[in-house]
Amino acid sequence: MTTLYVTDQGAYLRVKHQQFQVFHQQELRCSVPASQISHVVLFGACNVSHGAVRLALQRRIPLLYLSNKGRYFGRLQTTGQAKLEYLTQQVYKSQDPDFIRTQAASTIMGKLHNSRILLLRLNRRRKTEKATQAIAALAELMEAVPTADSVEAMLGYEGTGANQYFQAYASLLKGKFEFEKRTRRPPTDPVNSLLSLGYTLLSQNVHAMVEGVGLHTHFGNLHKPQANRPSLVCDLVEEFRAIAVDSLVAYLINSNIFKQDDFTPPDERGGVYLHPDAMKRFLKHWEEKLQQSVTHPHTGYKVSYRRCLELQVWEYVACLMGEQPVYRPMTWEG
């Protein structure tokens, strides 16, 4: 299974013989069997035929709508996919403070661990004092999280860890790109632009898998249930930020794969974004990252990162249904 990205402005997505076809300027650009597509991502001004919408809905293939700059707008998909036995447990467990605290702690520990491991790996190649200090600080925070008396206190540790992590991360990037801190809505520099786009794509992959197994997206543990926020998706994304996105962005920057002229000048809000051709290059590297093989720690199998996302969703199901006492995040080895 793969993702179909439609990036050309004015492109037209249609269906013929159970295949999605992308036309641009009346020329067929690609044709992919619907059976091989997990979801379709449409950037900017793309048009979709009634037949393509119908086939996507019939095959439960989400259509994701992003701006041409990569900002997420929404999704079109069928409803009513949550399994009753899962939903019942999600509602019940959302009222259980012990369950919430246990899973929230595990989620934060996974995020802090993987953030620290990425810094360790990058610091071996280009040692900096900030990275060395942050590696030690993250280890101390990981010791403090299990003893926190509330989820709010854990979030405080997570926030402290994120600030120290990104300062260290910035010190480990080479080249002319300046990156001082994490900025969103809008991203104000090229590194933040790549991180934001990567996190958006990661979230949409996890979102599709959460709904695909029959879970409701809104019942999270670290992120409390809230209207218009897929809190469970936000939880499950955390452990993969450093593994999937931050590591990829560091590779792209440190390998000089992206240059300053691949990005737009700051717009009226200060936002910086990839130019269309550079966007296609990023998507290519993103798909290659998702297809890269890694040993999944809980199963012992060597699988793709995309498969790891799905296995972690099933790990949460096992925890929710009482087959596992605590959610075990996917963690990197040093």
- Rounded to whole angstroms, what are the CA distances from 92 to 122, 200, 221? 42, 29, 12
pLDDT at 233 over 80: yes
Checking if the pLDDT of 228 tops 90, the result is no
Tell me the domains of the chain and their CATH numbers: 2-76 (3.100.10.20), 84-320 (1.20.120.920)
What's the predicted TM-score (pTM) here?
A: 0.85
Checking if the pLDDT of 259 tops 80, the result is yes
Determine the pLDDT at residue 1.
63
The residue among 92 and 224 whose pLDDT is bigger is: 92
Give the confidence band of 312 by pLDDT, cuts at 50, 70, 90.
very high
Q: Read off the pLDDT of each residue in 97-108 and give the average, rounded to a whole number.
A: 92
Q: So what's the pLDDT on residue 38?
A: 83
Strand boundaries in the chain, DSSP class E: 2-6, 12-16, 19-24, 27-33, 37-43, 47-48, 63-66, 72-76, 293-295, 302-304
> Which of 121-130, 258-267, 312-321 is predicted most confidently?
312-321
Q: What is the pLDDT of residues 27-51, one digit of tens each?
A: 898 899 999 888 888 988 889 999 9
Which of 133-147, 202-216, 260-274 has maximum average pLDDT?
Answer: 133-147
In 3D space, the residue among 307, 280, 313 whose CA is nearest the CA of residue 292 turns out to be 307
pLDDT of residue 188: 84
Q: Which residue has the higher pLDDT, 304 or 241?
A: 241
